[in-house]
Structure 1
């Protein structure tokens, strides 16, 4: 596998990326919280894009993978800035954005900021507004007090080591919410969600489906699929979704 390349963002962060040249619309993969661009879905989709002659971009947010920074110091807004920088510097023309988990939120933020660039969007266990509706809404009073006094709390994860959740992440997340105000997505959208996902509920997927305005928006529930959504069947569904939104 080729070595990563790097760009420097206007905010002074150093972002690692892999770019495959090819025909458009360029597929941009946005990973999840504490994931990196070496994950199963990102690499599989890059291999598929290369075989199809499609342009493809994957990158690490700051504090993730090979990019600069400390994860615990980051927030949704920082990673949104990283996404805007990567897309702005490394792609041209229409995009098909594929967002996994937190990357689904990032995809919606990108679509809100650069709607003219988006040809289609695929959300995989998309997790919009999770800092407020997932973390803050479920914190105990003791956790909220710890967050206020210490500035961070640790939360267990079913998929990796505990998450460190900072007061900055919670407060910044409130400035990035997408499910409170009208959300217009004027392009095809495909949402994929596993019913055995313990990190993002099917209720979240349905809420996004009902809230967003799109001329062509489908939600596919996959029985017994978990949050990773990366077995052979799930990967094939992601490719199918990319083809569907690209064709239109």
Structure 2
């Protein structure tokens, strides 16, 4: 049975996590929006890490999974604080982050906030700045007015129940954008992107690749893969890229 533990953060949130001891650097999985540490990619990568004798960490942001708070009360900055609390209080030594979708944005924020700790990065359908470039830009005038008036807006999702997008999420997202200023990534970095992803486009993946600075950065496009990126072949691809980054650290 999975040994779930809890971290009480300085701002009063209770963060659920599962930690696996092993050889460093610690592989830290960062989940997507409304996903959690029980997702297919997180659990599969943990199983691989255990088989390889590697240190591994997965956790739930506040408002997600088994952590405290409500999803609609949270925002990008809160989940960034949760990530920093996990890295600063639960992980010793260097970190290799693996970020999926919104977790890709979180991994880039981590790289900016803790450049001395992060030594490698793998992202899967990374979605930096999606609150602004995806949601806000995609809203029509009526939706923007409803968001301003009601403080939230419900939009359909292909992967879950309707998403409730709050005014807080949009406004806080603007304080954490990473594609508007230089973003050095002085570490081995591997971006993964499916060509059939309807949530994050290939063009967005190319925009991220072109924006970041570093001398060991690659983007791999997987033809036919969707946003979940979680069939057996995709899971093997994630493991392969983690191995590549580990070998180049």
Provide TM-score, normalisation by structure 1. Answer: 0.99
Residue 167 of structure 2 is aligned to residue 170 of structure 1: no
The CA deviation at 1:74 is: 0.5
2:113 and 2:40 map into 1 onto residues whose CA distance is 28
Aligned positions of 1:132-143 closer than 5 A: 132-143=132-143
- Partner of residue 80, structure 2: 80
Alpha-carbon distance between aligned partners in 1 of 2:132 and 2:171, rounded to the nearest angstrom: 9
For the Cα contact (< 8 Å) 1:184–1:213, is it kept in 2?
yes
The Cα shift of 1:245 comes to 1.0
1:34-183 mapped onto 2 (5 Å cutoff): 34-183=34-183
Separation in 2, partners of 1:152, 1:174? 16
Structure 2, unpaired ranges of 5+: none
Corresponding residue pairs, total: 248
Query: Unmatched 5+ residue regions in structure 1?
Result: none
Q: After TM superposition, give the deviation of residue 3 of structure 1 in Å.
A: 3.1
CA distance in 2, matches of 1:119, 1:182: 18
Query: Alignment partner of 2:116: what SS?
Result: helix
Partner-residue secondary structure (3-state), 2:142: helix
Q: Deviations over 1:175-203 (max 9, x none)?
A: 00000000000001000000111111111
Deviations 1:104-133 (A, max 9, x none): 000000000000111110010000000000
Q: Could you tell me how far apart the structure 2 residues matched to 1:69 and 1:114 are?
A: 25
Deviations 1:137-187 (A, max 9, x none): 010100100111100001111111111000000000000000000000000
Matched residue of 2:193: which SS? strand
Q: Verify: 1:190 aligned to 2:190, yes or no.
A: yes
Structure 1 vs Structure 2 CA RMSD: 0.6
User: What is the TM-score when the length of structure 2 is the normalising length?
Assistant: 0.99
